[in-house]
Structures are given as structure tokens and as C-alpha cells.
Structure 1
């Protein structure tokens, strides 16, 4: 499953072959994308964000945040707390991780550090423009 960072950077990825053949997203990613146009500071940015949201809506049938994801969220929040972080600080990321866990899917992200310390979550770092080579 792609997180929001991987979806946003999809057209610019260095090596899209690292992604699954049939990428999936969560409804939480659509929720996160839907905020963008509403908080844009100018019309050009708003239009670009709206187009990105509409493209995602057209291209994907998102996985829901359902009862299984809600239960998995407890695991995510507990993992984050044990690692000294709060789920509320990264609520979208925590909910996206919960959907991936509930569906037994790895999470493809351009920001693997955002998901570090979540027990049971398989994180696949996606190389992207601007990423520092290690």
C-alpha cells in the first residue's frame, strides 16, 4: 500500500519498479489529500492540489479505515508510545499504518522514519528526488 508521500511523488519517483504491480491506497490518504486544496495559499497551488486529489480518486479504490483498521490502530498507537512518540502527532500516518497492518500489506513510503517503531509493519522505502543517498 502506498502512503501519501509515495502517492504524491509517484510521477517523479527514481525507480517506480520498487512499487507493487497493483498499488493500493487507504481512504486516509484521500482524506489527507482533500485537505490540500482547502488550505492552499494561492489559486495555482489550490488547482494543482485539487487536480492531484481528483486523479487519485479516479485511479484508486481506497481501502477503508474499518473495524479491523481501528483495532490495528491500537497496536500502532501503543508501538509509537513505547518508542516515545505520540500517535496524535502524526495521526494520518498512524491511521495509514493501521490500514496497512489490518490488510496485511507492506507500506511503501518516501518517509520511512515517519513509520519507524511500529510493530509488525513492513516498511518499504521508496527512493525519490531529493532523497539523500545513504
Structure 2
């Protein structure tokens, strides 16, 4: 199971999709690719902040398509994820490396579901017992 972080999802929108990310995704069966409700919320928030116009409309249409394509493969913030979030967020804060709440929630969802997180921001997730892959760098 590969869980796509927000920065990977955003590469699938707009007129100029990232060929690198599309090629990387082609290496996986679509059934193994997942989103989180947290990433969906981040994407929607960013889109709604854009000024009204053609660009916003295009990006929203692209995101709606992506969300539809991932129907049944969007992982939520379950009680198991909530407990993992509390544990890992507290551990990171005690270690002097606090995480943004949304990142800790995404990490917890991945851990609760046994997923590998695909993200550009691997440093944000270091020190967790979480499998990471960086599709922006990895072959």
C-alpha cells in the first residue's frame, strides 16, 4: 500500500502534470495507491483559497477527477490512527522535533494501515517507524 502525500497529489493537477510522478505511479498497480482524508482536506483548502477564475475551476475539476478515481481508496482517521497520532506527536515533541498536526495525522493513518508514505518531504517524517518513499528522487 502506497499512500500519496499532498505534494504528490498536487503534481497530478493542472495543464502540466509531472511526467516524473506519472511515470513513477505507472510502476504500481492502481489498487495499491491510496489517499488520506487529511490530504483531501489539505488539497480542498488550498483550492478554495485560490482566486475565482479559469485556473481555479480547472484545478478543482482535476482534483474532483482524482478524488473520484480514488473512491474506495481514501483512508480515514480511525480510532487506531488517532491513538497512534497521540503517541507519535507526543514522542516527537518530547524529542524537541514537533510535527505539524496534519503531518502527524497522515503518518498515523499510514502506520495504522501498514502503508508506505510517498512524499517529497521525507525529512518531516524522519524518526518514525514509517516506511517512506520519495517519488521526486527515487528511481
- TM-score after normalising by structure 2: 0.77
Deviation for aligned residue 1:56: 2.4
1:4 to 6, 25, 33: 6
CA gap of 1:83–1:52, structure 2 versus 1, over 3 A, is: farther
Counterpart CA distance in 2 for 1:20 and 1:79 is: 33
Please give the secondary structure, in 1, of the residue aligned with 2:133.
strand
Alignment: residue pair count: 125
CA gap of 1:104–1:114, structure 2 versus 1, over 3 A, is: same
In structure 2, what is the equivalent of residue 81 of structure 1? 93
The answer to whether the 8 Å contact 1:30/1:53 transfers is no
Please give the secondary structure, in 2, of the residue aligned with 1:9.
helix
In structure 2, what is the equivalent of residue 47 of structure 1? 57
Please give the secondary structure, in 2, of the residue aligned with 1:25.
strand
CA gap of 1:59–1:83, structure 2 versus 1, over 3 A, is: farther
Misfit runs of 4+, over 6 Å: none
Structure 1 spans left out of the alignment, 5+ residues: 129-134
Structure 2 spans left out of the alignment, 5+ residues: none
Deviation for aligned residue 1:13: 4.5
Does residue 106 in structure 1 map to residue 112 in structure 2?
no
Deviation for aligned residue 1:107: 0.5
Counterpart CA distance in 1 for 2:116 and 2:103 is: 14
